[in-house]
Structures are given as C-alpha cells and as structure tokens.
Amino acid sequence: MIVLGGSAGSHIGYELSEILGAGYQDVEVREFPDGELYVRIPADVGGADIVYVNSLAGRPNDLLVETVLTLKTLEDLGARTVYSVLAYIPYARQDSRFNPGEAVSALVVSELLKSLRVDRIYTFDLHLHRFRDPRELFGDVLVNLTAVRDLARYLRRYHELRDCVVVGPDEESEQWARTASEELGGVPYTTMEKRRISSTDVVVEPRDPDLVRERCAVVVDDIISTGSTIVETVRALRKLGVGDTYVAATHAILALGAYSKLAKLGLRDVVASDTVLSPISRVHVAPIVARHILGLEAPG
C-alpha cells in the first residue's frame, strides 16, 4: 500500500501511513504562470493499492482540480485499488435550488467525483442539509465518517464537564449533538432555532430554554466558517445563565476573522479536528480513517 498526500492533506496522509505501516509520498503539485496546475505522482503505482489524502478547504477550486487530476492519473497509471480520503469536501451546502437559475453545487461535485474510478471515498461530517444520507448523492462509494466522538472524548479527557448539556446550533446539527451526548455518557442534548439573515449573519434562539438554563454547555457543530452561528449561539445561551461553555467542531474553516470572534467569547475551550489545519485543530482524524480502512470500526 502507498499513501499519497495532496497539497492540503499531507499532515493526515503521513500520519495515516505510519499507522498503516505503508509507504508515503507527497504528490508533486505546482502552478504554471497562467494559474493552471501541474500534478505529478512521484511513485510507481501500477498494480498498487493507493490511499490518496487531501482536504479541499481554504482553496476549494484549486484543490478540487488538483484532486480530480490526481485521481484520474492514478487510474491512467494502473493503480489496483484507490481509496480517496477527502477530509473536507466543499460545495456541499448548496444542495438545493433556492432561487431560479442557481447551480446545485453539491449535485455537480458529487457527479464529478462519481465519474472517477475510485473504490472508496472517505470524508468527515459532510455539510449537507436536505440529504440525511450523503450516499443519496455520492453513491455507496462514499463513507461519511465523523470526528465528533473523538472531539467529545477530547473534552471529556481534559475537562470536568459537570452538569452539562450538549447544544447544536441549528436543526441540522442535531445528529452531531446526539453523537456527542452519547459519547459523554448520555447527558441531555438540544438544538437551537436558527434563522439566516445573510451568508454571514444569523439569529439564534433556544428551542428548550429550561433544559440549558444555568448549566454548563458543550456546543457541537460540523463546521465553523465565519463563526457567526457559534457567536450567536453562545450569546443566546449566556442570556439563560449558562456558565462554562465549550465549543467543538469537525471543520475549522475560520474565515473572515472567525478565530478572533471565538477568542473574544471567553470560552473554556474551543477545539476542532485537523480535517482543516487551524489554531484549534487538536484532534487528529488519521486514526479514525485507519480504523475504517482496517475494518475495525463501522461509520458513524
């Protein structure tokens, strides 16, 4: 087996190769003067089992093209099996046509990835709203893993979570709030009601105020993008007398000054996985991927 690291996935790929006892190579990627990408696989992959690792956050357009070029080249060079670990898949939030003429980007990207010869695609906590099972879009080739259990274990290991309730910032986050609740021993969980005003502004209100009032709160979500949802959630909880507050999310995109916004909240802790490298990425996902590749754990 050979593990190949894309330009935004080498930190996961190298760790994964160490766990699996496999060889490791970085995919050679550079940019031509006109902005086009040059991709070269510096290993003999003919007849080999390949695990290609990348994360498509931060520069989604370039990284998506890089990934497509790499996966197609692996097919052309005769790799026997190809597992693709795409720790973060972009364009998933637009999974419906809300206004006439809009591109349904989740559908387009899923069709693009399905057109490649890949035996399995591993990703983490895919950001879909209207599809309960991502395989409805991507087919059975997709394995949607979660980092939420490991995030909850991290908080449990380093903090005394006394009289806590798990809170999801919106209805879609209920699945992650429930998972964190289970991992924390069955503590209560709830979700907030969110109304989006714009792409950066939201209004968040408690769905069950009496459940969270004057308790400790663990806010769990799949992604922190601009930070607006987390900020409004914490503010709403504190109006109810919530004290110690912790935040955990799988993907720390941290766009438009989000990290600064989080720092000003006075949280007891804020943690994310390393699907996207950031100042709060302290939970590693390589061991999760390894367990699934080795058949030691089922998704979810």
- Provide the annotated active-site residues: 194
- What is d(CA 149, CA 175) in angstroms, rounded to the nearest whole number? 12
Separation CA 89–CA 234 (nearest Å): 27
3-state secondary structure of 255: coil
CB-based contacts of 45: which residues, under 8 Å, 6+ apart?
Answer: 2, 74, 77, 78, 79
In angstroms and rounded to an integer, the radius of gyration of the C-alpha atoms of the chain is 20
Contact indicator for 107, 95 with CB cutoff of 8 Å: yes
85: phi then psi, degrees, rounded to nearest 5: -100, 100
Q: Dihedral of the CA atoms 218, 222, 224, 229 (nearest 10)?
A: -70
